[in-house]
Amino acid sequence: MTTPVTTPASAPVNVSAAAPAPTTSPRTARKSARRRELGAAGALMTPFFILLVTVFLIPVATAVWLSFFSDDQPGLGFGPERTVFVGLRSYTAVLTDPTFLSGLGAVVLYCVIYIPLMVIGALALALLLDSGVVRLRSWAQLGLFLPHAVPGIIAAVIWLYLYTPGLSPVIDLLGKADITIDFLGVHTVVPSIVNIALWSNLGYNMVVFYAALQAVPREVIEASVVDGAGPVRTALQIKTPLVRSSVVMVAMFTLIFALQLFTEPMLLSQSTPMISSRFSPSMYIYDAAFTRNNYGLAAAASVVLLVCTIALSYGVTRWTNRSDAAEEDAR
Amino acid sequence: MSATAPTRTAAVLRPRLLGRSVVNLVVGISVLYTLLPVLWLVLAASKDRDALFGSDVLSLDHFSFAQNLKDLFATDGGLYTRWYGNSLLYAVLGAGLGALISIACGYAFDKYRFAHKEKLFGLVLAAVMVPQTVLALPLYLMASGTGLVNTFWSVFIPVLFNPFGVYLGRIFSQGYVPNEVLEAARVDGAGELTTYFRVAMRMLGPGLVTVFLFQLTAIWNNFFLPMVMLSDQDLYPVSLGLYTWNSAATVSPEYYPVVIMGSLLAVLPLILAFALLQRFWKSGLTAGAVK
């Protein structure tokens, strides 16, 4: 395994060149084997990295580049003609635009409601299912998971109709009990969107947590039962800390997707004036790019959203790493 | 003495019994929460417009499932069939090809040593968290620069990119393909790529299916990219098509039953895929969750 490697700085791309010549000394044999390995690695990775460059790196670089330029003639490709360097002007425009700031505010509010509800709800359900007292467990799991198979736009359609007076049996029922509620009002619209996202993803995350709980060694749980811990204490103080890494992972992915909030409000905006065309940062980007054709503004907003996403994800990892370390120290 | 014994057992049992029923109640309500909207979709799809707007989807009158189905395929000259076919094409081909590409790359990350490996892997992981909305405008400009905008390829090529699949591929490769097998193949004089395609890929089967399913779901759900790229309705996937019909419904309500029926049919492929491939994706989830 510890072959002395004299790797060329760049991985060879040509695979056929790596065909082994009839070797004489073991050193050349090892060298050609090494070259063959690098050739195979290159061949297996090239398709993915071509995609990475074309649909990820170049677009990100283009977004950053565009954000520093102003282009009055949209639709001429990404060539540099007729574009003027404007420095941070687009950023100033975005960050002082009240519609962008209120979009950020809406997403922050959405995240603050949605993420704790999602993580706690999914974990609680997984713990309940793992407790062994639930009847028809696999059926319950299947039922909870079902919404994951419903595409986001269709989940939004279903709930939009359930929010619409005249169509919705929910509003009808509530009306019979003399409760009138406008699900798409000023204060209810964000919770209504949270509900759609929660409905769509609760079961999926529950399955992730449940899978992690299944991997907890049974001896640990038996030991805690012998020590006299009740089922609730076992769940909260023994099992939950042991599935920390999946809690972090779920929280992270939920956050990343929550920041991109687009599909649900986009659909609801067709039916309620409460959701403007710039309701969330992603909708703002779409509106700036494809309705107002202001590419510089859209690009600057994209970069701001990107930076926020990276900063928050980095914050979450740092924070969990630190509290991990603190926990280690405490032991 | 004899009277206290049963009471004590009952006292020990009672909270437990209570706990049990509370647990089952909570899970039961949650299941109702996830199932009832789907049930509503099924019931609403079988009702005509009068029943829909009367909010009484539960009654057995106004049953018109067949009629709604017929209307769906007749609306706008059978556009729905077209959209469904497009979605299947984008999703099945895209997920199949994408999974092969991602798994191969993840395998190479796991099995081979090369310069700057972990840095490259870090780049792949970073790509997972970049919002799609950030990439949309540059992708659109690139597509219009190359004349690909408003074609099948403008949607198909970007969806092949699945960095999370590479991450999963690396984990699966660690778990399913023992290094000894590769050593043995090398001793036998098999080429590296032959070993991958003949031996390793077979072992990676469940992982491949998992990544395929993840990507199938993502592409079937895809809405933002087609909306940006496509203006020709004939190229739309179901998601975007239903979105346009839904906006039409706010003006002309005869679209409502069509949207509902269309939504119901659009849910079926994923349910089918998840049901058929259940044992694969469950293992995939565990791999993603535990590591």
Domain limits for position A147:
98-330
- Tell me the HSE value of A89 on the side-chain side, using a 13 A CA sphere: 12
CB-CB under 8 Å, A211 with B285: yes
Domain limits for position B230:
68-290
Mean pLDDT for the stretch of residues A246-258: 90
Distance CA A221, CA A199 (A): 31
What is the amino acid identity at position B217? T
Who among A51, A149, A152 is closest to B223 (CB)?
Answer: A152
Q: Is residue A21 part of a domain?
A: no
Q: Would you say residue A16 has pLDDT above 50?
A: no
**Conformational region of residue B206, where left means phi above 0, alpha means psi within -120 to 50, and beta covers everything else:** alpha
Q: Would you say residue A15 has pLDDT above 50?
A: no
Weakest mean pLDDT among A39-48, A224-233, B69-78, B245-254: A224-233
- Residue A7's pLDDT is what? 38
CB-CB under 8 Å, A285 with B135: no
Are B57 and B72 in a shared domain? no
Are B159 and B103 in a shared domain? yes
- Residue A172: closest CA among chain B residues belongs to which residue? B55
* Residue A291 with chain B: CB contacts under 8 Å: none
What's the whole-number average pLDDT of chain A?
Answer: 83
- Residue B138's pLDDT is what? 93
Write out the H or E segment, with its range, that includes residue A70: strand A69-71
- Residue B61's pLDDT is what? 65
Decide if A114 contacts A191 (C-beta within 8 A): no
Partners of A85 in the β-ladder:
A69
B98 compared with A28, residue with greater pLDDT: B98
Match 């067949």 to its residue by tokens: B66
Are B182 and B217 in a shared domain? yes
CB-CB under 8 Å, B246 with A158: no
Mean pLDDT for the stretch of residues A41-64: 94
What is the amino acid identity at position A248? V
Mean pLDDT for the stretch of residues A88-115: 93
Weakest mean pLDDT among A9-13, A86-90, B85-89: A9-13
Which CATH number do you get for residue A172? 1.10.3720.10
Q: Is residue A17 part of a domain?
A: no
CB-CB under 8 Å, A259 with B131: yes
CB-CB under 8 Å, B145 with A55: no
Instruction: Say if B278 is an interface residue toward chain A (CB within 8 Å).
Output: no
CB-CB under 8 Å, B246 with A59: no
- State the helix-helix crossing angle for A244-259 and B278-290, rounded to 10 degrees: 100
For A109-138, the pLDDT digits (tens) are: 999 999 999 999 999 999 998 887 777 888
Q: Is residue A142 part of a domain?
A: yes
Distance CA B97, CA B80 (A): 25
- DSSP H helical ranges for A215-289: 218-226, 231-233, 240-242, 244-259, 263-268, 281-286
List, as ranges, residues 92-131 from B with C-beta within 8 Å of A: 101-102, 104-105, 107-109, 111-115, 123-124, 126-131
Q: Is residue A285 part of a domain?
A: yes
- Residue A327's pLDDT is what? 65
- Residue A97's pLDDT is what? 93
Closest chain A C-alpha to B118 CA, distance in angstroms: 14
Closest CA to A284 of A141, A35, A93: A93
Are B82 and B201 in a shared domain? yes
Percent residues over pLDDT 90 in chain B = 46
Positions in chain B whose pLDDT score sits under 50: 1-13, 289-291
Question: Model's pTM, two decimal places?
Answer: 0.85
B74 compared with A280, residue with greater pLDDT: A280
Are B61 and B83 in a shared domain? no
Q: Is residue A151 part of a domain?
A: yes
DSSP state of B162: -
Who among A59, A203, A298 is closest to B139 (CB)?
Answer: A59
- Residue A78's pLDDT is what? 54
Tokens matching residue B17: 């019994």
Distance CA A190, CA A324 (A): 33
Match 């309701």 to its residue by tokens: A279
Are B237 and B268 in a shared domain? yes
Are B50 and B73 in a shared domain? no
Number of separate domains in chain B: 2
Mean pLDDT for the stretch of residues A253-259: 92
Mean pLDDT for the stretch of residues A81-98: 84
- Residue B261's pLDDT is what? 92
Q: Would you say residue A17 has pLDDT above 80?
A: no
Q: Would you say residue A41 has pLDDT above 60?
A: yes
- Residue A178's pLDDT is what? 80
* Residue B40 with chain A: CB contacts under 8 Å: 158, 161-162, 169
- Residue B284's pLDDT is what? 64
| Strand residues in B188-287 grouped as ranges (E) | none
Torsion angle, alpha carbons of B134, B140, B146, B147, to 10: 170
What is the ipTM score, two decimals? 0.86
Burial of B137 (0-12, 13-18, 19+ CB in 10 A): buried
CB-CB under 8 Å, B161 with A52: yes
Are B84 and B175 in a shared domain? yes
Distance CA A119, CA B107 (A): 31
Q: Would you say residue A19 has pLDDT above 50?
A: no
Helix, strand or coil, per DSSP, at residue A113: helix
Residues with Cβ within 8 Å of residue B10, at least 6 apart in sequence:
none
- Residue B55's pLDDT is what? 55
- Residue B67's pLDDT is what? 82
Closest chain B C-alpha to A105 CA, distance in angstroms: 18
Q: How many CB atoms lie within 10 A of CB A53?
A: 12
Are B85 and B159 in a shared domain? yes
- Residue A134: closest CA among chain B residues belongs to which residue? B24
- Residue A288's pLDDT is what? 93
Which CATH number do you get for residue B266? 1.10.3720.10
Are B53 and B182 in a shared domain? no
Number of separate domains in chain A: 1
- Residue A329's pLDDT is what? 65
- Domain edge (last residue) among B17, B49, B65: B65
Are B218 and B230 in a shared domain? yes
Buried b / exposed e over A224-240, threshold 16 CB at 10 Å, is: beeeebebeebbeebbb
- Domain edge (last residue) among B65, B84, B112: B65
What secondary structure, in 3-state letters, does B61-86 show? Answer: CCECHHHHHHHHHHHHHCHHHHHHHH
For A296-331, the pLDDT digits (tens) are: 999 999 999 999 999 998 888 888 777 766 666 665
Decide if A181 contacts A171 (C-beta within 8 A): yes
Are B59 and B79 in a shared domain? no
Helix, strand or coil, per DSSP, at residue A217: coil
Q: How many CB atoms lie within 10 A of CB A202?
A: 22
Closest chain B C-alpha to A85 CA, distance in angstroms: 18
A21 compared with B231, residue with greater pLDDT: B231
